[in-house]
Structure 1
Amino acid sequence: MDPASLTTSPLPLAANTFWFGDRLPPVEQLCLKTMAHCGHDVTLWTYDQLEGVPAEVLIGDANEILPFSSFIAYKEARGARLFADIFRLELLRRSKGLWLDADCLMLKPILDDRPYIFGWEDGNRINNAVLKMPADSELLERLWAFVTARPVVPPWWPWPKRIWQRAVYPIGLARGPEAVALGTFGPKIVTHLVQELGLEEHAQRPEMFYPVHYNETGRYFEPGAAEECITGDTVCCHLWLSNIRSKVEKIGVERFYAETFLGRKFAEFGIDAMA
């Protein structure tokens, strides 16, 4: 598959993202600005009155997609990551367009309206930070069936564990979605079903959407390091906010922002990273 074909159609796709809370942090402000700058009509879906939303971004009432009463979160402190994995699937079921995580920093618009848009984050896993698929596709149907089924029974669990999960569900002892491993409703099930359905040919190479791996986000804080991973085919950089937030908060302007890829982007778009 030719990566350049992602930039051959005339108009950027409508883009959707989600935020839970009452203020949009600087990293997300920057990323949403880059989405709009690349020509995407961006809708930020939220349940709250948000501060810090760029003027170029539309606000959508998340209750129109899923009611707030359906909100679930991991028992551990992981914010809205579990719910966001479900929310994006319902957006796709409603044919709202492209999904982009709020920490996707866009370098080029995604213009191609091919039915499937997703990419490998490394050689083993497809991420769901950039996601699009037909509303009537078997892939989306099976993803939705998995995230809504109770009990939660990941198909990669060993068979004794799957049998036990189903057996103890009626008496309330099964592990709920709030207690499953991080990524179960996201990259793990997406990767599993894409491979099971033989859709790997639609998955873009890591340098398209995930040029800097989760384990190497320190590159964003070293002059010239991120640029070593970004190629002419790179469309966006997923910034892995959960991994870089503490670094952004700890590193001062003099040491980092003016000299790095990420720092130049903050300056280019007029975002105060320390706000």
Structure 2
Amino acid sequence: MANLNRRPVASLWIGESLHYLNQLCLKSHILAGHPTTLYCTDDVKNAPEGVEIRPASEIMDIDMSVVDQTSASFLSNVFRYKMIKKTEAIWIDCDAFCHKPFPDDMEYIFAGHGFRGALNCGVVSIPAQGHLIDSLLDYYENLPDAPPWFNKNQKKKLERNASDPLPVRIYKAERTAFGPQAFTYFAQQSGDFEKALSPDVLYPVPFQLNDVFYDPHGRVEGHFTENTLSVHLYTNGTKPWWRKNAPLEGSYADRMCREIGIDPNLALK
């Protein structure tokens, strides 16, 4: 087992079992020396050796009725900042592969994403005390009738779902309103937007090209730079076929599974 002498990382899992890509990503952090905690809503039994399983309720109660009306990842956008506030661990999505360890002295870890330039919150480290995290938590705990950045069309969508609970209405109007949109807006308001790392550090492959991870002829590493620390695999955007089948031999997903020691066939959807 790796010597876990680096900064702690943590994530959330809503469900009973991990997919092989989630196993791969969690184990990659263990092997890089990061103590890795997985907060869970259920009794997850197929986490890789070395991952510490903790109840999600230690950080916050997960309203499963909201999850059922939105998505399994929706409330993770609230959870991550509450977790950072309480533990100061680095948040990692369960589909973020550790390419290189996170430096001990890197206080701000977040980056731009894809082709649009907005921030993503798949990997986040921000101070547990400060304007940015306080603004994010205040937004979630005191939801406005409409997020302050919503345009007319988004507000009309809110009105069409007026009978739903407010978090569900916001989700239906804009799926990323609790995630990247909120993080981008409040980082701009706090003046922390300029602290963002370049996309190659955390999201070297744009979301729009996520199929490349399963292509045995894809040149995934061509997207990497010497600054790359994490590789986001975007399982939420993956075509359903890849969730149900082992990766093709020679693809990036296949090569990383062999390198890390994960058998995809044991954890398919």
TM over 0.5: yes
Where does residue 118 of structure 2 map in the other structure? 125
Contact 1:75 1:179 in 2 (8 A): no
- The corresponding residue for 1:246 is 240
Q: Is contact 2:62-2:75 (8 Å) kept?
A: no
Check if 1:75 corresponds to 2:69.
yes
Q: Matches of 2:145 and 2:61 in 1, distance apart?
A: 21
Q: Mark the CA change 1:162 to 1:53 in structure 2 (over 3 Å): closer, same or farther.
A: same
Q: Does 1:66 align with 2:57?
A: no
Q: Pick from 100, 108, 113: which aligns with 1:116?
A: 108
**Structure 2: distance between partners of 1:110 and 1:269:** 18
**In 2 relative to 1, CA 164–226 (structure 1 residues): closer, same or farther, beyond 3 Å?**
closer
Secondary structure at the aligned position of 1:266 is classed as helix
- Report how far residue 173 of structure 1 moved: 4.8
Distance 2:163 2:94 in 1: 35
Residue 215 of structure 1: how far off its partner (Å)? 0.7
In structure 1, what is the equivalent of residue 133 of structure 2? 140
1:1-275 equivalences under 5 Å are 12-69=6-63, 72-73=66-67, 75-76=69-70, 78=71, 80-122=72-114, 123-158=116-151, 173=163, 176-180=166-170, 181-222=174-215, 223-244=217-238, 246-249=240-243, 256=248, 258-275=249-266
**In 2: Cα distance, 1:126 partner to 1:85 partner:** 13
Distance 1:17 1:252, change over 3 A: closer
What is the letter of the counterpart of residue 206 of structure 1?
Answer: P
**Retained in 2: the 8 A contact 1:45–1:61?**
yes
| Structure-2 change in CA distance of 1:62 and 1:250 (3 Å) | closer
| Larger displacement relative to structure 2 (31-40 or 156-165) | 156-165
Tell me if the contact between 2:88 and 2:127 (Cα under 8 Å) persists in the aligned partners: no
Deviation track 1:194-244 (CA, whole Å, cap 9, x = no partner) reads 122222231011111101111101211222421221222111111101122
Deviation at 1:56, TM superposition (A): 1.2
- Secondary structure of the residue aligned to 2:37 is strand
Q: For 2:123, what is the secondary structure of its paired residue?
A: strand
Query: Equivalents in 2 of 1:107, 1:221: separation in Å?
Result: 17
Please give the alpha-carbon distance, in whole angstroms, between the structure 1 residues aligned to 2:198 and 2:227: 9
How much does 1:174 deviate?
Answer: 7.3
- Residue 259 of structure 1, CA deviation: 1.1
TM-score scaled to structure 2, two decimals?
A: 0.86
In structure 2, relative to structure 1, the CA distance for the partners of 1:174 and 1:249 (3 Å cut) is closer
The CA distance in 1 between the partners of 2:27 and 2:111, in whole Å, is: 22
Shift of 1:137: 0.8
Cα distance, 1:156 vs structure 2: 1.1
**TM-aligned CA distance change 1:264 to 1:46, over 3 Å:** same
Equivalent AA in structure 2 for residue 22 of structure 1: E
C-alpha distance in 2 between matches for 1:267 and 1:160: 47
Aligned partners of 1:116 and 1:132 also within 8 Å: yes
Unaligned runs of 5+ in 1: 1-10
**CA distance in structure 2 between the aligned counterparts of 1:159 and 1:228, rounded to whole angstroms:** 40
Cα separation, partners in 2 of 1:201 and 1:259, compared to 1, 3 Å:
same
Is the 8 Å Cα contact of residues 88 and 128 (structure 2) preserved in structure 1? no
Q: 1:153 to 1:107 in 2, by over 3 A?
A: same
> Which secondary structure state, in structure 1, belongs to the residue aligned with residue 69 of structure 2?
coil
Q: Which TM-score applies when normalising by structure 1? A: 0.84
> Do the aligned partners of residues 215 and 247 (structure 1) sit closer, same or farther apart at CA in structure 2, a change above 3 Å counting?
farther
- Hey, what's the Cα distance between the residues in 1 that align with 2:156 and 2:219? 47
Query: Any idea what the Cα deviations from partners look like across 1:149-169, whole Å, max 9, x if unmatched?
Result: 23442111237976997xx8x
How far apart are the structure 2 equivalents of 1:101 and 1:143?
A: 18
Number of aligned positions between the proteins: 256
Q: Which ranges in structure 2 are unaligned for 5 or more consecutive residues?
A: none
> One-letter code of the match for 1:260?
S
Q: Is the Cα contact below 8 Å between 2:11 and 2:38 reproduced in 1?
A: yes
